[in-house]
Structure 1
């Protein structure tokens, strides 16, 4: 039977007046996780009441 471990990362935007998501930095994080053997299995956004996105949650798994 295969066994897995899971890890969830939260990535928040930067900036004070305007929220920006740094796609290059996100790619760097995702590629680093892949190099460590983690596979992305889901991504979920956390929205705030005004209709904008506050952060993203990336969930990874790898076989143990």
Structure 2
């Protein structure tokens, strides 16, 4: 039986009305987790209002 471990990260978009993240920094961090054997399985935002995003939630998994 395969065993998995999971890691969930939250990235704040900043600002009272929602904001942006640095795309290159975000990509670099995803690549860093990938180089450690983590596989991205889900990425979604949490809504704030009027289409703005409050946070971005990222879920990774890897074999134990």
TM-score in terms of structure 1 length = 0.86
- Which stretches of structure 1, 4 residues or longer, exceed 2 Å deviation after superposition? 14-18
Moved more, 27-36 or 44-53: 44-53
Task: Give the aligned length.
Answer: 64
Counterpart in 2 of 1:45?
Answer: 45
Computed over aligned residues only, the root mean square deviation of the Cα atoms, in angstroms, reads 1.8
Aligned-partner Cα distance in 2 for 1:22–1:63 = 29
Q: Which ranges in structure 1 are unaligned for 5 or more consecutive residues? A: none
Counterpart in 2 of 1:20?
Answer: 20
Moved more, 15-24 or 49-58: 15-24
Aligned-partner Cα distance in 2 for 1:2–1:28 = 29
Aligned-partner Cα distance in 1 for 2:17–2:40 = 31
